[in-house]
Structure 1
């Protein structure tokens, strides 16, 4: 009987470990996406401030002209 309790305990610990690992990866991915978006906005803002045509910035970044104006 003790073996089954230990086996269940180990299985639960492993499942918790896998869940935590997945959550950490997901959190890291979200942080990377947020950072990439901020860098993309900064790049578009820089192009806008340097006088590049808004339509060209929109085409290259995927932002709408209105979004670029609001940056």
Structure 2
């Protein structure tokens, strides 16, 4: 008898950049959201590491980055 270990199916991510990102390709992040997670990567390293956080953490980061802290 043999057993195989399979990984759960990974969702296909739709990556996007902010409309404020210039065409020069400077220091940009790309973001892909799924119902339960937000994925962030460096736009210059498409195959590089991906940071995955929950929606609440992402909302807090965006709020802080936009300067809308309580």
Q: TM-score over 0.5 for the alignment?
A: no
- Structure with bigger gyration radius: 1
Q: TM-score, normalised by structure 2?
A: 0.29
Which structure shows the higher strand fraction? 2
